[in-house]
């Protein structure tokens, strides 16, 4: 019997290497690192009816651009350092520009599981809308042509309290942030120097995400806001936002939905209304817009591909922008995105007055 035990032990030792665990391979690293490199090309046809056509006075122009994005986060006990860096190089119609930007860089300290503070440059990303966020009082506006692109933050300090409960309210969190803007810090936030305070109260009530928002600004009227998001079904979500300037006849709201069909078609639709127009240099400056995006995953069972269509319609002047595109994901973390974009509308309308009539846009990403 002893000999049998010895033989069994020898057999286990002989095959132990087949089942060894490399603890270093599953050890949680104290940092994360990710990003991408992007190259893009635009061939743009120009609009002879645009009031800006005289600045070019030709049929078309070309744009070449490259972009690098790096995200790095470091964790140590109660401290987290989060950062994002962006490098851009552009050749727009033989005009060369470059930009090196710290998109985000802030420190987070957790006192306990309920309380934390964040100090530094950050984009809060308030709001539930896909194309536009009326209540994002402390964020830069989204690019309508690329709503999911990273946006540069502002320097601020933020305190957050978070608590989970049993009952109709499952979770509550409170954010209080302070941000100053003047000629030295956050100079592009607003024209007037001011101290800004923001408060956001979040509730998860009956499986509905709800935010109440307040902005205090000592050089201007205060603002209030509200948003919600609710999954009516596992494949259907509805959301909305409302913002108002106190003491002024000025308000804006957005309602939208996101729906996933059984055949993997994602539909995102939103309606935006604002009482007063904003500056025509800003996106969505008019009173009413209807925006849609349709994205079909792996059409005709063509693996790693997708087709999409996007439409932004100005209800007031009946002009619009249409985008037709396709993507393909390669196995080496590369993604190719090719789209055709066209602006359409009568002379003098928003999209009928754009300098660029149509664009053939090619983008190649490498993610790491």
Residue pLDDT, tens place only, 86-112: 999 999 999 999 999 999 999 999 999
Which of these ranges, 15-24, 125-134, 271-280, has the smallest mean pLDDT? 15-24
- Nearest one of 258, 203, 246, 199 to 228, comparing CA atoms: 203
How many percent of the chain have pLDDT more than 90?
Answer: 90
Residue 16 has pLDDT above 60, yes or no: no
What does pLDDT average to over the chain? 93
Residue 8 has pLDDT above 60, yes or no: no
Type and span of the H or E element at 10: helix 2-15
pLDDT (average), residues 336-342: 98
Separation CA 297–CA 260 (nearest Å): 11
Residue 228, judged by CB atoms within 10 A of its CB (0-12, 13-18, 19+), counts as middle
Structural tokens at position 153:
């933050």
- Give residue-wise pLDDT tens across range 297-328: 999 999 999 999 999 999 999 999 999 999 99
Furthest C-alpha separation in the chain: 99
- Give residue-wise pLDDT tens across range 234-267: 999 999 999 999 999 999 999 999 999 999 999 9
Q: Which long-range CB contacts under 8 A does 90-95 form with residues at least 24 apart? A: 90/63, 90/64, 90/65, 91/63, 91/64, 91/65, 92/61, 92/63, 92/65, 93/56, 93/61, 93/62, 93/63
Q: How far is CA 242 from CA 123, 174, 228, 258, in A?
A: 20, 19, 9, 18
pLDDT at 58: 94
Give every CB contact of residue 269 below 8 A, 6+ residues apart in sequence.
256, 257, 290, 291, 292, 293
Length of the chain, please? 368
Residue 194 has pLDDT above 80, yes or no: yes
Q: How far is CA 295 from CA 58, 148, 156, 309, in A?
A: 34, 14, 36, 7
Separation CA 115–CA 122 (nearest Å): 18
Q: Which letter, b or e, does each residue of 331-342 get, where b requires 16 or more Cβ atoms within 10 Å of its Cβ? A: eeeebebebebe
Q: How far is CA 49 from CA 57, 280, 322, in A?
A: 11, 17, 19
Phi, psi of 361 (to 5 degrees): -120, 120
How many percent of the chain have pLDDT more than 70?
Answer: 93
Residue 100, judged by CB atoms within 10 A of its CB (0-12, 13-18, 19+), counts as exposed
pLDDT at 317: 97
- Nearest one of 251, 283, 285, 289 to 271, comparing CA atoms: 289
pLDDT at 22: 58
Residue 26 has pLDDT above 80, yes or no: no
DSSP string, 105-174: EEEEEESSSSEEEEEEEE-----S-SS--TT-TTSPPPBTTBTTS----EEEEEEEEEEE-SSSEEEEEE
Confidence of residue 10 (pLDDT cuts 50, 70, 90): very low
- Nearest one of 198, 201, 196, 228 to 212, comparing CA atoms: 201
Q: How far is CA 44 from CA 63, 181, 339, 359, in A?
A: 8, 37, 12, 4
pLDDT at 28: 84
Separation CA 63–CA 40 (nearest Å): 8
Confidence of residue 13 (pLDDT cuts 50, 70, 90): very low
- Give residue-wise pLDDT tens across range 108-152: 999 999 999 999 999 999 999 999 999 999 999 999 989 999 999
pLDDT at 27: 77
In angstroms, how far is the first alpha carbon of the chain from the final one? 57
Q: Give strand pairing partners of 60.
A: 45
pLDDT at 23: 54
pTM of the full structure: 0.90
């Amino acid at each position: 019997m002893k000999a049998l035990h010895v033989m069994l032990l020898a057999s286990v030792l002989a095959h132990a290497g087949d089942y060894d665990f490399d603890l270093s391979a599953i050890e949680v690293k104290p940092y994360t690192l990710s990003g991408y490199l992007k190259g893009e090309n635009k061939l743009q046809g120009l609009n002879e009816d645009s009031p800006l056509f005289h600045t070019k006075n030709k049929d078309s122009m070309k744009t070449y651009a490259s972009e690098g994005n790096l995200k790095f986060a470091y964790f140590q006990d109660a401290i987290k350092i989060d950062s994002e860096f962006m490098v851009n190089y552009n050749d727009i119609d033989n005009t060369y520009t470059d930009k090196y930007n710290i998109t985000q860089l802030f420190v987070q300290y957790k006192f306990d599981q309920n309380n934390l503070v964040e100090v530094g440059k950050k984009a809060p990303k308030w709001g539930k809308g896909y194309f536009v966020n009326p209540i994002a009082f402390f964020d830069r506006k989204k690019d309508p042509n690329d709503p999911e692109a990273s946006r540069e933050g502002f320097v601020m300090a933020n305190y957050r309290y978070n608590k989970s409960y049993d009952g109709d309210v499952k979770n509550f969190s409170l954010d209080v942030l302070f941000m100053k803007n003047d000629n030295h810090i956050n100079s592009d936030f607003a024209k007037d120097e001011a101290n800004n305070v923001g408060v956001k109260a979040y509730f998860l009530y009956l499986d509905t995400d709800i935010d109440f928002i307040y902005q205090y600004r000592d050089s201007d009227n205060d603002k209030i806001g509200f948003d919600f998001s609710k999954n009516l079904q596992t494949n259907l979500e509805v959301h909305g936002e409302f913002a108002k300037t106190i003491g002024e006849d000025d308000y804006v709201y957005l309602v939208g939905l996101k729906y996933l069909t059984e055949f993997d078609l994602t539909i995102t639709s939103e309606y935006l209304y604002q009482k007063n127009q904003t500056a025509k240099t800003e996106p969505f400056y008019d009173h009413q817009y209807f925006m849609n995006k349709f994205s079909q995953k792996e059409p005709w069972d063509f693996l790693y591909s997708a087709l999409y269509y996007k439409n932004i319609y100005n209800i007031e002047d009946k002009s619009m922008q249409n985008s037709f595109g396709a993507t393909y994901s390669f196995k080496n973390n590369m993604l190719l995105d090719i789209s055709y974009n066209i602006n359409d509308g009568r002379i003098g309308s928003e999209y009928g007055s754009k300098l660029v009539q149509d664009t053939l846009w090619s983008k190649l990403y490498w993610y790491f």
